[in-house]
Every structure is written in C-alpha cells, then in structure tokens.
Amino acid sequence: MRMRRIVWQGIRALSESKTRTFFMMAGTIVGIAALTVIMALGRGTEKQVMRRVKTFGPRAIMLIAGGGKNAPPDMSVTTLTLDDARAVREQVKDLEIVTPMAWRFRINVKHDANQYQAVLWGVEPSWHEAWDWYAAEGEGITDEDVATIARVCVIGQTIKRELFGDIDAVGERIYLNKVRFTVKGVLAKKGTSPMGSDFDNRIIIPITTAMRRVLNVDYVGAIRIITRNPKLMPQQIKEIRALIHARHHITPPQEDDFRIASPVSIAKMARGTSRTLSILLVALAGLSLLVGGVVLMNILLISVGERQKEIGLRRAVGATRGDILSQFLAESLTVTSSGMVLGSGLGAAVTLILKQATKVPVGLSSAPFALSLAFALLVGLFFGIQPARKAAALNPVEALR
C-alpha cells in the first residue's frame, strides 16, 4: 500500500509538467519504435528467406552459366552445354534429377491479334518433377517431344489469360518468334516469386526445339539438379565444381565461368543483407535510447533542484530516504514505460505502413514488446538512479530553506 502511494505521487508529479515529461520520454519513444521496426524487418526477412528456400527447393542445386556471385542469368553466356549436364548426371553420385534448361527472358508470343511478352524455357520432361510443376490442363513435355523436336508448348496461367481469355487453350496455335507451336498444356498456377516476378508468365517447350528452331544455340543457361539426400549437398557441390573446372579447363587464379546456387547460399546471402541492415538499425535504436536516457537523467536532476522544498517537506513529515529514492525511480520508470508503450505503438504503425506502401518484408510478433519492456526498465533504472540518489541524499533542513 505504501509503495502504491509513493508510485502514485511520482505519477502525479509527472502529470503536473506534461511538456517536460514528454521530452524525457521522447528518446525512449524513438528508440523503442526503431527497435520494433527492426525486429519486424528481421522476422519478415526470415520468412522471406524460408519462402525463397521453399520456392527454390530444399534439395535443389542450380548450376548457372556465367561467373559472379549474384549476377542475373544471361542467355548470351555460352559456358554450359548439354554435355556438361550429361557429365554431372553420370559422374556425381546420389543425384535424383539433372535437367538442363535453355531460356530467354523476353520473347514475343502471338495468337491471332493478341500479343504478349513471355519468359521461354526449353526443357526436358524431368523439368516438371525437378520444379514440382505440372500441367493443370492437357499434358506436359514428353520424351517423344524432345526426340522429335516437336513444335509444342505448355503455357503459364498468365499467358493463357492474356492470349486466350476464358476459352480452352489446349490445341490452339501460337507463334514464338514467328515459329508456329501447338499448345498441348497449361501449367498449374504458381503466383509471384518472393522477389515479386510473375512465375506464370512462362512458356516451356522441348529443349531440342528451343535450341534448334527458336533460339538457334548450342548451349544452355542452367542445369537444375535434385539431390537424393540434402545432407550430401555440400559434398556434391564440391564434386560438381571440380567436374566443371576440369571440363572447362579452369585453374586458379582463373575465375569460374559458372556459379552454383543452393538453398544454403540463398539463405546465407539473404541473411547477410538482413544482418547488415539490422546492425545499422540497432545502432540507431541504441543511440536513441542512450540519448533518451541522458536527457531523462538531466531533466530529473534539474527537477530535483527545483523540487527541493517538496522533498524537504516530505522528509519533515516522516518520509524516509528510501521513500524519496523510490518516488524518483518510480517517476523514471513511469517515463520509460510510457515511452515504451508509445514507441511500440509508433513502431507497429510504421511497420504496417511499410507493409502496405512497399514490398519490404515485415512480420509483427509479441517478441518486440517483451524486449522493449526490458529495455525501457533497464534505461529507467540505469539513468534514473543518480537523480533518485541525489534527491534522497538532500538534507531536509537545507532543502526547506
């Protein structure tokens, strides 16, 4: 009961000087808001990483033509061939699927008066299993299609909608770079990628047809590999790299003319970017909390000087040093706790605005609020103890003069 009365007296003292109280909690509000946004961004990034890994495939390895760690795929790069895919398939153990792909990222597609630009992939039948992506209507690419260099295609849902509307596309004719194809199937809907691109804006054709009749190339853009056991993936990546080095006559210090992507490398890259951003934002939040704590301490010290008569009077009527210490600590903790509540609300609002206005991945949870409370109490105790001790140490007789 006594402690409750002391806390209430501290809160009443704060309410009598609202402007000063707000300035004391301003740093805490900014710091806690920044911390809330940081944790929401971190959680959102983690979810995005898991979506990328799931989309990529937890057992998948991509051998991509062209060097560089993060360079986008480029069809002008000629460093991978069907023979490379065959060598990987035959010489690296415990691989379930090895399927090469020739591609072009912009190709004109035409049906009657309707035209559209699509992504073209030349594939083998195993492509469907490698990507777990099958035809929802009609059928997919078959061994016979590849063997006969057939002019058939399987289109994505976006292509179907743009060229055919609501009519059945299977059996219809389309033109790819003036080469006529028959639509034999429509792929199941995939939606958008974690990066925001449209998976369904895609057409697949037999790889032999792509290389000989449409693209006129003798190389492939990438080779998708599915391992039987994810635990073997690191060793298999080493073997694949060594094999391609030998086939392409690459020796140090020559740079690789290919790169290998895996769920581990994708997660590592995404988390590395997120970690850099988080460090910067944590530094900002920490600086805000530090500045807020210093401001809080200085204003409380000024308040002690201005309230000497109040403190002396309370001591004169029986308040102990502990009571004075408790009151000023209660004021400090009330300021930082209120700042935590307002800062958490502000941080949540900023997070929701980011989610609605941008494509930045965010994820709100209860964790930031618990951490914010801990930070608020720590700042309140650390920076409030000196003013509280100064107030408690005042001589009541001198304070009343």
Q: What pLDDT, in 10s, does the model give residues 22-55? A: 767 777 777 777 777 777 777 776 676 666 667 7
Amino acid type, 362: V
Range of the domain at 381: 2-51+267-400
* Residue 261 included in any domain: no
State how far the Cα of 71 lies from the Cα of 260, in Å rounded to an integer.
Answer: 12
H-type helices in 261-366, by residue range?
263-306, 308-316, 321-357
pLDDT of residue 78: 80
Single residue among 189, 223, 256 that ends a domain in this structure: 256
Residues 239, 128, single domain; the answer is yes
Torsion of CA 135, 139, 145, 151, to 10 degrees: -80
Taking residues 2-22, what's their average pLDDT?
Answer: 58
Residues 159, 271, single domain; the answer is no
- Strands 179-187 and 152-155 turn out to be parallel
Select from 163, 168, 158, 105 the least CA-distant residue to 138: 168
User: 173 has which bridge partners?
Assistant: 182
Task: Using the predicted structure, report yes or no on whether residue 142 has a pLDDT greater than 80.
Answer: yes
Sign of CA dihedral 86, 91, 97, 102: negative
Residue 400 token pair: 């009343």
Please, is 380 exposed, middle or buried when counting C-beta atoms within 10 Å of its C-beta (0-12, 13-18, 19+)? Answer: buried
Residues 236, 278, single domain; the answer is no
pLDDT of residue 266: 62
Lowest mean pLDDT across 117-126, 226-235, 277-286 = 277-286
Question: How many structural domains comprise the chain?
Answer: 2
Q: What angle do CA 110, 115, 120 make, to 5 degrees?
A: 65
* Residue 262 included in any domain: no
Task: Using the predicted structure, report yes or no on whether residue 242 has a pLDDT greater than 70.
Answer: yes
pLDDT of residue 119: 93
Comparing 34 with 124, the larger pLDDT belongs to 124
Q: Are 222 and 65 in contact (CB under 8 A)?
A: yes
- Strands 179-187 and 202-206 turn out to be unpaired
Comparing 193 with 10, the larger pLDDT belongs to 193
Task: Using the predicted structure, report yes or no on whether residue 83 has a pLDDT greater than 80.
Answer: yes
Task: Using the predicted structure, report yes or no on whether residue 361 has a pLDDT greater than 50.
Answer: yes
Lowest mean pLDDT across 9-18, 89-98, 316-325 = 9-18
Residues 108, 150, single domain; the answer is yes
Please measure the distance between the N-terminal and C-terminal CA atoms of the chain and give it in whole angstroms. 31
Peptide bond between residue 368 and the one before it cis (omega within 30 degrees of 0): no
User: 137 has which bridge partners?
Assistant: 186
* Residue 122 included in any domain: yes
> Please, what is the average pLDDT of the chain?
80
Count Cα neighbours of 122 within 13 Å in the Cβ-side half-sphere. 29
Q: How confident is the model at residue 365 (pLDDT cuts 50, 70, 90)?
A: low
